[in-house]
């Protein structure tokens, strides 16, 4: 039985409490639940892939593809094909907005932009990795700002399979919460079937909220620490974190590093842009969904190059990239001041 905080409540039931009755029915009953259900299949595929290897192909960005990247991509595409209200989809592995072929006569139309397996380079040592999904109103996510997202989901594949969900539907109160994902009978298959029972998905934290000062423990996650060797400001920032006794929590996977801060209630993630360290994170597939999650948890997310809000900027094409500073607002403001003046 669920307690008063909502722990143990079914995912769909929890979503229905966050929106007025009859609002965004497909988003609540199909889009978010079915995408999250696919994480069980991805988790099983990862556990079954005893080797991580290149498949001899590269995505459109020139990145070498791994067998696990391809598996995650196929699983998510299968899930998307079974959701009539998703009309368009693109991914970091296939960065072209393509029609899903849906001809459904529905009131809701969504575009999904996703990174099927973020952090695949750290799978070989068996570290936690994740999936990043942005859900956008309409039939395209391009020529829009990140504020056109109505939801974002971070799948986490570690000892447990979980998801962090952010919801920002116009006219409704925003929300950020964590879902625990069990295994359904279809978890061993790379594709879904009508005979497969969905995994059990229940709320384990109904409200993720970054805390305000004073902080018991402060966490920092500095990406590309090598850049400190060429950038005095970044070195100054890292020195500050160390001398002020912050706790280092960084494994090199965007999803687990961000989720750590969300779960602990404090943290700042920094992916700098310097003369030799160019921006690597893609706005459509990584930055916009991450920024929505962080903001819905009460934090901030800004561009490391100019300090502007990630969600305010229009996304012109699928390969736009930027650096990132995100997390607890107080810490983001300090990092901004230190790096950008």
Mean pLDDT of all residues in 185-205: 65
d(CA 100, CA 220): 40
Q: What is the 3-state secondary structure (H, E, C) of 285-330?
A: HHHHHHHHHHHHCCCEEECCCCCCECCCCEECCCCCEECEEEECHH
Task: Look up tokens 């801060």; give the residue.
Answer: 261
Q: Is the pLDDT of residue 2 over 90?
A: no
162 phi/psi in degrees, rounded to 5: -135, 175
**Whole-angstrom Cα distance, residue 270 to residue 179?**
26
For domain 219-340, give the CATH number: 3.40.190.80
Listed by start position, the domains of the chain span 11-205, 219-340
Q: Residue 126 above 50 pLDDT?
A: yes
For residue 268, is pLDDT > 50?
yes
Q: How confident is the model at residue 60 (pLDDT cuts 50, 70, 90)?
A: low
Is the torsion defined by CA of 184, 25, 136, 267 positive or negative?
negative
Calculate mean pLDDT across residues 49-75: 77
- Is residue 58 pLDDT above 80, yes or no? no
Q: Which of 29, 176, 171, 177 is nearest to 108 (CA)?
A: 29
Q: For the chain, first and last CA: distance in Å?
A: 52
CATH topology of domain 11-205: Fructose-1,6-Bisphosphatase; Chain A, domain 1 (3.30.540)
Confidence class for position 184, pLDDT limits 50, 70, 90: low
Phi, psi dihedrals of residue 10, rounded to the nearest 5°: -60, 145
Question: Given a cut of 70, is residue 5 above it in pLDDT?
Answer: no
137 beta partners: 110
Cα radius of gyration (the chain)? 19
Prediction pTM value: 0.93
Secondary structure class of 218 (helix, strand, coil): coil
Band of pLDDT at residue 320, cut at 50, 70 and 90: very high
Parallel, antiparallel or unpaired: strands 149-157 and 161-167: antiparallel
Closest CA to 282 of 120, 122, 92: 92
Higher pLDDT, 48 or 64: 48
Neighbours of 278 (CB within 10 A): 9
Residue 195: pLDDT band with limits 50, 70, 90: very low
């Amino acid at each position: 039985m669920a307690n008063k905080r909502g722990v143990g409540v079914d995912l769909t039931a929890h979503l229905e409490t966050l929106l007025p009755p009859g609002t965004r029915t497909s988003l609540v009953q199909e889009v978010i639940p079915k995408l999250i259900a696919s994480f069980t299949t991805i988790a099983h595929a990862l556990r079954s892939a005893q080797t991580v290897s290149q498949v001899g192909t590269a995505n459109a960005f020139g990145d070498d593809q791994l067998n696990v990247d391809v598996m995650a991509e196929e699983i998510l595409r299968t899930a998307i094909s079974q959701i009539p209200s998703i009309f368009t989809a693109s991914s970091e592995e296939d960065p072209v907005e393509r029609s899903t072929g849906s001809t459904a006569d529905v009131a809701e139309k969504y575009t999904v932009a996703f990174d099927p397996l973020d952090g695949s380079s750290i799978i070989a040592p068996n570290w936690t990795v994740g999936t990043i999904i942005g859900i956008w109103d309409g039939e395209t996510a391009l020529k829009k700002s990140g504020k056109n997202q109505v939801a974002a989901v971070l799948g986490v594949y570690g000892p447990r399979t979980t998801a962090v969900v952010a919801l920002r539907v116009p006219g409704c109160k925003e929300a950020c919460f964590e879902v625990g994902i069990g295994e359904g009978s279809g978890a061993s298959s790379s594709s879904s079937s009508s005979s497969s029972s969905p995994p059990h998905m229940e709320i384990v934290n109904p409200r993720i909220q970054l805390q305000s000062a004073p902080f018991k423990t402060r966490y920092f996650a500095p990406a590309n620490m090598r850049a400190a060797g060429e950038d005095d400001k970044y070195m100054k920032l890292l020195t500050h974190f160390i001398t002020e006794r912050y706790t280092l929590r960084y494994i090199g996977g965007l999803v687990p590093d961000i989720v750590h801060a969300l779960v602990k209630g404090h943290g700042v993630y920094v992916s700098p842009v310097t003369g030799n360290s160019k921006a690597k994170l893609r706005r459509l597939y990584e930055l916009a969904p991450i920024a929505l999650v962080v903001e819905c948890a009460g934090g901030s997310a800004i561009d490391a190059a100019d300090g502007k809000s990630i969600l305010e900027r229009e996304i012109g094409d699928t390969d736009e990239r930027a650096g990132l500073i995100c997390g607890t607002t107080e810490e983001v403001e300090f990092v901004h001041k230190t790096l950008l003046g």
